[in-house]
Amino acid sequence: MQRSRLAALGLAAATIVGGAVGVLGATSADAALSTNWYAAAPYLMPQSNNPPDPVTVMNATGAKAFQLAFILAPNGGGCSPTWDGTTSINSETVVSNAISRIRANGGDVSVSVGGYGGTKLGQTCGTPAATAAAYQQVITKYNLKAIDFDLEEPEYENTAAIANELGAAKILQANNPGLFVSVTMPGTASGTGWFGTQLLDQAKSIGFTPNNFSIMPFDGGFNGGSSQVAALEAFHGLLMSHMGWDSATAYAHEGFSGMNGKSDVSEMFYTSDFQTVLDYATSHGLGRFTFWAVNRDRACVGTTDNSVCSNVPQNDWDFTKFTVKFAGATPPTTTPPTTPTQTPTTPTGCTAPQWSKTAIYVGGNHVTYQSHDYTAKWWTQGETPGTTGEWGVWQDNGSC
């Protein structure tokens, strides 16, 4: 998924850290969710693209799991796992704190490795065993019950790298009983392209069967949900012919990974399109339904940045609710109270509360800072008004 994924906006990491609860080591194996939740976990970048508070999203939608992205090789090379190619898993705190908060709220996470761009561990680790050893560090540190292999450019066309990734996935399956493993790849109108079929052939040749193979039917000239359903049906045929599965088995091992709103090439996917694909997925017994990304699952206010909002009409977290439905749950019909408790006020002069570095604010909250009134555009904490620019979280309403 191209999706401006590695664009660190500088807005980001602090918003997801606040209020961390517990430590990862305190989470027991009993914390695992049922498989349907890992199959429905939407993607979330925890360190960039203005990450929303995951607990707020959970409470508003009923979601229980997120697909955290992405684990990559270090930007300078090597065979050790990092977040976004920049932060070693051994030194990070942002992701660990986010996971702790999600689990304390009754949820869990999967971690996605790869994605579009960057250097992948399959390219640098040399062998399936070495690649698996790097990913095992991630599984062990975060006590994972699920992992996603998002196999894209520039690795996708590298036969040796794909062999390392799929071989590693098979090793991890054997060494971590019950591990939910998804494999995500680009989609085309024909289901997937030549490199995708080679990937399926490689998996079959080594005897590797993940919980699902998912395609991403966007950025390829798609036009709404009906074209995505057609691609999924074509991919179903490829799973039968390349993996040797009957129809029911192929559907059960097939997944959809969409993009909400405006795609990288200006395709538009609305909530009605997600409903079309969801109806197909549930009626045919597909094994996964997810999308890129929760960071974008909100209306654009004061910006059209495609990495932080959808550019289509919606309420916050509307697309996430489709994944909740796929998991077999019913999203709340009304949005429950969010963690922030401060009530928005309408400023008259400098009557809004003084901005506080430690307070949590949501869209619509007013604050006073240096004799100016500011309005928060979205959830934020620790971002000083007047320093985030015209596309940032704080709208300057002028002096008061």
Residue among 92, 152, 155, 267 flagged as catalytic: 152
Beta bridge partners of 394: 376
Strands 108-114 and 87-88: unpaired
Is the preceding peptide bond at 293 cis, omega within 30 degrees of 0? yes
* pLDDT value at 251 more than 70: yes
Per-residue pLDDT at 19: 41
User: In the chain, where does the domain assigned CATH 3.20.20.80 lie?
Assistant: 13-326
Do residues 45 and 295 touch, judged by C-beta distance below 8 A? yes
Residue percentage of the chain with pLDDT more than 90: 74
Does pTM surpass 0.85?
no
CATH topology of domain 340-400: Seminal Fluid Protein  PDC-109 (Domain B) (2.10.10)
Concatenated DSSP letters of 291-316: EE-GGG-S--SS---TTT--SSS--T
pLDDT at position 1 is 59
Q: Tens digits of per-residue pLDDT, 264-322?
A: 999 999 999 999 999 999 999 999 999 999 999 999 999 999 999 999 999 999 999 99
CA pseudo-torsion sign 153, 154, 157, 163: negative
What is the rounded distance in angstroms from the CA atom of residue 5 to the CA atom of residue 293?
9
Rounded mean pLDDT, 316-339: 83
* Domain span(s) for CATH 2.10.10.20 in the chain: 340-400
Q: Residue 337 — very low, low, confident or very high, per pLDDT cuts 50/70/90?
A: very low
> Could you read off the pLDDT of 40-68 as tens digits, one per residue?
999 999 999 999 999 999 999 999 999 99
In this prediction, residue 394 carries a pLDDT of: 80
pLDDT of residue 331 exceeding 90, the answer is yes
pLDDT tens digit sequence for 186-195 = 999 999 999 9
Q: C-alpha distances in angstroms, 51 versus 40, 83, 110, 122, 285?
A: 19, 14, 16, 27, 31
> What does the alpha-carbon distance between residue 49 and residue 45 come to, in Å, rounded to a whole number?
7
Which CATH number is associated with domain 13-326? 3.20.20.80
Q: Is the pLDDT of residue 152 over 90?
A: yes
How many of the other CB atoms lie within 10 Å of CB of 42? Answer: 27
Please provide the DSSP assignment of 93-130 as one string.
Answer: -HHHHHHHHHHHTT-EEEEEEE-SSS--HHHHS-SHHH
Mean pLDDT over 231-253 rounds to: 98
Check residue 348 and give its pLDDT.
46
Q: How many CB atoms sit inside 10 A of residue 194's CB?
A: 10
- Catalytic (active site) residue 153: no
